[in-house]
Chain A
Amino acid sequence: MNKVKSVCIIDDDKIFIYTLKHLLGKMDFCEDFILYHNGLEAVKGLTARMENQDQVPDIILLDLNMPIMDGWEFLKEVSSNSELKKIKTFIVTSSIDPEDFKRTKDHSNVEGYITKPLNSKKLKEVFNHL
């Protein structure tokens, strides 16, 4: 398992973030989290980080169903940004709809599709993949 510097979580579900942070912290494979509660917040935040030459996250864990800007719109925004496009993105969603799964194949930066609930086993697979 590779330890990474920074993981970006884009999800509006506070309970999920709480549990995910707990899991990540327990497993100790990242130094830092960046949190955004919807796609728009993430686009703005990440773009600002790049402009300020701040630390850009190594991976993004992206929820699909969010208010204001959902996961799909976020992916679309990112696709026109050559830098952000490089960040490896994992969809983390409670959706078990095969249509959603199929749709992720259109996005080259999406590395995997993980269904909630998460557990240490699923997370390990993610980081092994890196």
Chain B
Amino acid sequence: MVLNHFNFIRLIMGSPFTKANNMSISEDLTERLHSLVKKNTSVFEFLYNSDSDGYCFFNIQNSSNKFINTALSNTLGYTDTTRDHQAFNVFTEKDDQRMISSALEKKCSDSSNFKGDVTLKNFEKIKIPFTYLGVKLKTNEHTYLLCCFKKQSYQQVKRDTKLAIYQKLFENTNLAAWRCDNTTRKFEYNETWVKLLGYSLDEFNPTSIEEIRTVLHPDELTRARENFVTYLEGKSPFYETEIRMKHKNGHWIWMRSKAVIVSYTEDGEPEWIYGYREDIDKEKKEVEIKKSFIAEIPSATAMLDRNLNYLAASKKWLTNYNIDSKNFIGKSHLDFFPNLQQRWKDIYALCLQGETKRSGEELFVDKNGKEIWLIWEIKPWYNSENKIGGILIYSLDITEDKTKAKEKEINALLRVTKEQNQRLKNFAQIVSHNLRSHYGNSEMLLEMLEEENPSLRNTTTFDYIRKTTERLNSAIYHLNDVILINSTPSCDFIKVDLNEVLKTALINAEMNAAKHKVSITNSINETTHILGIKTYLESIIHNLVDNAIKFSSPERTSFLKITYTKEDLFGILTFEDNGLGIDLEKNKNKLFGMYKTFHKHIEARGVGLFICKHQAEAMGGHIEIESTVNVGTIFKVFLQHE
């Protein structure tokens, strides 16, 4: 077969055209097509390049005069038998009209291509979407339309349906709608949209994304663009931004802009984006007023929206929580408090439902471990529509007041202590001056009396008066010691030669020890020093040595061993005896009490241990005791070593 144009057309068309009423397309028409193709290579190219699911060929003047080829009727599922009756019905009238009118719109001559969408009914009368590509063919008598059809893919159908819905919405909505084609940067808006800015459609000219930016406030533009890009890149589930736009009159209006991607290109790039704007100017300006008001509140205050994002905060809040004052608005509260306890989240949730929560004085510990006393309150705030717009958090740092109160308390205590100390000193003076002077007189009078009446010397009564006077003296003496320890402020300790003090004490006790047959051993090194007060150390040693002798057991050979061991914190001076011992279980509480005695002993005064304890403590140490009745006693004096 010669591959002339005619044959070629037959070949690519698969079969001759069939008229809907089952009449084959006339040879004449085929001839005409052939001659057209011969005249105009673009028609040939059109047919050659159309990767089609079938063709249709009809007369524009008389749209009922239609021909479809076998490929198309097969695509639609018609069999040879059904085709005869129904093939013509594949077109809806509306689709016919559309194809014809789009053909007529092409005013230019033959072979101008055009395309569009149609739905063709298959043999079950289900509408199947097709894209068509048309070409106009003119002969002397008629204008013909040759359309090749391509069944749309499912994706394509979906995309187109979606676009169609949005298109409709865009055209009919009262919302201030806009759309843009991200591939071409084309930007469109409806009438409501331009009205928001005070324009009519005729007055407002921007047609691209870039042009539209000229009416956006530069302060918010960067964030809006960032939000937009984030959304386009799929990093955020929606696009929403609050931005000011320039009104025709020159002032700025707050808008909230929301958008969705409706379609993607074949490469998966976002294509059509539809969105709308709402006027939030009033709402926003209210917030702005609140914002500048809140910034100046002297207490720590934060205003959050329903999503716990910052709308405003007082300067105090920002300093207290170390938040960057330039870059916190719009950020989440949780960004600044990532370890927020569930307790607070629960409180926020309740407040967002309308509750108000407040605290009493509450102790917090900040990240540096500093204790902070706070009073806080969290409550919802309402927008102009009386709906909860978010929450207000308010906290007051009362640490300073607390500290002051504490200081006051301490000062009050200090004052009382001072007064008591003063009274104690006065008391000490009364004891040492007045009481003692009476004793002194008694003593001197007794002496005189004795001299004048030597016969009195051996009478029991006189002897008792004497002893009573002596006991009064020693009682006053010890009382005075006790007061002096308690009223003398701790002074700087000095280095004391332990052995020197001990030796003096032992020499003084020599007679007494011999009388009670107590052998005393001192195994302390010559060069042992402690830090303390010499007179106190003398008193302690004197008392404990005295004690050991006084309460030695007459039933055995008595000893007193004095040793010294140096440990980390203390030097321990130990007095170990095998004397009468003390029942510690019974006497634990009163052991070191004033005027407690444990032995029915003639010289037991009971002040000694009390004084020892306090003197040891005044030197930064203490005294411990181990004792078993009738076995012995160990006193350990803890002293600060050199």
Chain A positions within 8 Å of B, measured between CB atoms, are: 13, 15-16, 19-20, 22-23, 26, 64-65, 93-98, 100, 115-119
Contact = CB atoms under 8 A, between A and B. Distances in A.
Contacts of A23: 444
Interface string B101-120: 00000000000000000000
Contact of B440 (A16, A22, A26, A98): A16
A23 to B, nearest CB: 8
Contacts of B480: 96-97
A96 B477 contact: yes
A15 B437 CA distance: 10
A94 B210 CA distance: 107
B447 interface: yes
A97 B443 contact: no
8 contacts: A19-B441, A26-B451, A94-B434, A94-B437, A95-B429, A97-B480, A118-B440, A118-B444
Given A22-B448, A97-B484, A64 B440 contact: no
Contacts of A95: 429, 432-433, 436
Contact of A96 (B436, B441, B451): B436
B102 to A, nearest CB: 122
Given A15-B445, A19-B444, 18 more contacts: A13-B437, A15-B441, A16-B441, A16-B444, A19-B441, A22-B448, A64-B433, A65-B434, A94-B436, A94-B437, A94-B440, A95-B436, A97-B432, A98-B484, A100-B432, A117-B439, A117-B440, A118-B440
B607 to A, nearest CB: 15
Interface in B335-382: none
B339 to A, nearest CB: 60
Nearest to B428: A97
A93 B429 CA distance: 12
B212 to A, nearest CB: 94
Most B Cβ at <10 Å: residue of A22, A64, A97: A97
Contacts of B436: 94-96, 115-116
A118 B434 CA distance: 16
A83 to B, nearest CB: 30
Query: 5 tightest CB-CB pairs across the interface, nearest first?
Result: A116-B440, A117-B440, A94-B436, A94-B437, A117-B443
B477 to A, nearest CB: 7
A37 to B, nearest CB: 14
Most B Cβ at <10 Å: residue of A23, A115, A116: A116
Contacts of A22: 448
Nearest to A119: B447
Chain B interface extent, by class: 20 to 34
B432 A117 contact: no
A116 B433 CA distance: 10
Contacts of B484: 97-98
A115 to B, nearest CB: 8
A95 B436 CA distance: 7
A115 B444 CA distance: 12
Interface string B618-636: 0000000000000000000
A115 B439 CA distance: 12
A27 to B, nearest CB: 12
Interface string B525-548: 000000000000000000000000
B444 A93 contact: no
Contacts of A64: 433
Interface in B391-449: 428-429, 432-434, 436-437, 439-445, 447-448
B447 A96 contact: no
Interface in B307-340: none
Contacts of B442: 117
Nearest to B435: A94
A100 B425 CA distance: 13
Interface in B439-488: 439-445, 447-448, 451, 477, 480, 484
B466 to A, nearest CB: 13
A23 B229 CA distance: 116
B445 A116 contact: no
Contacts of B447: 117, 119
Nearest to B441: A15
A16 B444 CA distance: 8
B432 A96 contact: yes
A76 B444 CA distance: 30
A99 to B, nearest CB: 9
A117 B477 CA distance: 13
Nearest to A11: B437
A92 to B, nearest CB: 10
Given A22-B448, A94-B436, A117 B441 contact: yes
A120 to B, nearest CB: 9
A65 B429 CA distance: 10
Contacts of A13: 437, 441
A23 B433 CA distance: 21
Contacts of A118: 440, 444
Contacts of B434: 65, 94
A22 B480 CA distance: 30
Nearest to A100: B432
B437 A19 contact: no
Contacts of A96: 432, 436, 477, 480
Contacts of A26: 451
